[in-house]
Amino acid sequence: MGFKPANRIQDLQYFGEFGGVNPSISDSSTYTFLSAKTMFDTFEGNADGCYLYSRHSSPSNLYLGEALAAMEGTETANVSASGMGAITPVLMQLCGAGDHIVSSRTIYGGTYAFLKNFISRFHVETSFVDITKLDAVEAAITKNTKVLYCETVSNPLLEVADIKGLAAIAKKHKLKLVVDNTFSPLSISPAIWGADIIIHSLTKFINGSSDTVGGVVCSTQKFINDLRNVNQGASMLLGSTMDSLRAASILKNLRTLHIRMQQHSKNGLFLAQKFEADGLKTVYPGLKSHPSHELFKSMMNAQYGYGGMLTIDVGTLEKANELMELMQNRNLGYLAVSLGFYKTLFSAPGTSTSSEIPEHEQKAMGISDGLIRFSIGLDDDIERTYHMMNACMKELGIL
Ligand SMILES: Cc1ncc(COP(=O)(O)O)c(C=O)c1O
């Protein structure tokens, strides 16, 4: 009955080096070989199960990678030191000088900056399109296009990508569909709808404790081998490697992701419905008023809900700043970027996580001055939280 990502995490079984219920943490940068021949074979990529050097792979990183591959339903995965440390090698692996990328225009500001300002220096050009319009996506494809890039649920506007429709276009034009699924872990599993490569910033919901940055690329064994190849692999050569201690701690946090996502989603839906009923301009994929509500519903693994991210528009940046400061003073959350924490986090995207995007382009995308992005926390009593937020809004004349 459907895809069950949390079962796949639950079903992983570990016997640590000393019989521990957690795998032992690998604490070595380099590994011994009993024969010189095996060392040579490992460098050639022909000795499965042998470790070479921890920038290439390490037991702890492989455990975490395999768990995330199980969650996303891909053959395997490669973890990295940050989400950007996953995104940038994927794009550099797939594209060389003269190639072209078609990307959603509403994506995380860092990814936007990488495409617009950085990879363009190596003559890889990007066309930014409205990802919700499949005809516009297809029209932007040229003979040099190699990659279709999007976020399942976009940062910060919460636009929803039609993964199945995009996968069909990618297949038709022989492109790789690369999907950043950071905002919707468990809720949507892009691989089952045809995405080729799924990326997460583990920094967010998956780790969930705002104590580290991390990333992952989930894909086929062949693509992950390509990324790790000692001669040609962008992950191996650019060197954004996660530390083993962090991999072990993220693996432990991953096991409660299904419980956390259900609570984030329950609280997100509750607040979104209340805010909308109060007359605030509210965007949340779980609201019927969201233009892609039905699309999200058609792709979702229902029990994990519509996620913990929502936006409201309070009109001006001044009001947005006043509200965020007041909510922080009332201990309703933190004025901070990032997402997926147990406390609510709020920020104004135009002046923070999307500030890499020039102002006129922000306007064209719909990032308005008064926009506040919320990552809703795990509050047990969300009704209490709502009443306190509502009081802040009334105090500032927003309501
Ligand atoms: C959707 C999305 N993708 C990628 C990233 C980058 O991840 P990291 O900060 O872990 O490098 C972020 C960070 O905010 C993000 O929101």
Residue nearest to atom 8 of ligand 1 (CA): 83
How does residue 357 score in pLDDT terms, banded at 50, 70 and 90?
A: confident
pTM above 0.85, yes or no: yes
Ligand 1 atom showing the smallest separation from residue 183 Cα: 1
Q: Could you tell me the distance, in angstroms and rounded to a whole number, from the CA of residue 389 to the centre of ligand 1?
A: 27
Distance, CA 182 to ligand 1 centroid (Å)?
A: 7
Among 387, 374, 90, 362, residue whose Cα is nearest residue 240: 90
Which residue has its alpha carbon closest to ligand 1 atom 15?
A: 108
Q: What is the pLDDT of residues 19-42, one digit of tens each?
A: 999 999 999 999 999 999 988 888
Cα 183 to ligand 1 centre (Å)? 9
CA–centroid distance, 112 to ligand 1, in Å, is 11
> Which residue is closest in CA terms to ligand 1's atom 9?
83
- Average pLDDT across the chain, whole number: 96
| pLDDT(147) > 80 | yes
Cα–Cα distance measured from residue 135 to residue 183, given in angstroms and rounded to the nearest whole number:
25
The residue assigned the tokens 């957690």 is: 22
Atom of ligand 1 lying closest to residue 338 CA: 14
- 241 pLDDT exceeds 70? yes
Let me know: does 336 contact 347? Beta carbons within 8 Å: yes
Q: State the average pLDDT over residues 74-80.
A: 98
The pLDDT value recorded for residue 48 is 75
Quickly state the pLDDT bin for 1 (edges 50, 70, 90): low
Q: Hey, what are 375's tokens? A: 């990552």
| Atom number of ligand 1 nearest to Cα 85 | 11
Pairing mode of beta strands 215-219, 176-180 = unpaired
**pLDDT band of 134, cuts 50, 70, 90:** very high
- As a whole number of angstroms, the distance between CA 57 and CA 244 comes to 10
* pLDDT at 365 exceeding the cut of 90: no
Strands 176-180 and 145-151 turn out to be: parallel
pLDDT at 383 over 70: yes
For 277, other C-beta atoms within 10 Å of its C-beta total: 9
CA of 230 to the centre of ligand 1 (A): 26
**Residues 327-343: tens digit of each pLDDT:** 999 999 999 999 999 99
d(CA 103, CA 155): 13
Which of 201, 213, 240, 246 to mutate to test ligand 1, by most ligand atoms within 8 A of the CB atom? 201
| Interval between CA 205 and ligand 1 midpoint (Å) | 11
Residue nearest to atom 6 of ligand 1 (CA): 83
* Interval 162-206: pLDDT, tens: 999 999 999 999 999 999 999 999 999 999 999 999 999 999 999
Distance, CA of 15 to chain centre:
30
Distances (CA, A) of 253 to 177, 248, 309, 341: 28, 9, 20, 12
pLDDT at 253 over 90: yes
365 vs 283, higher pLDDT: 283
- State the pLDDT at residue 247: 98
Q: Which residues line ligand 1 (CB under 6 A)?
A: 82-84, 108, 110, 151, 155, 180, 182-183, 201, 203, 213, 215, 353
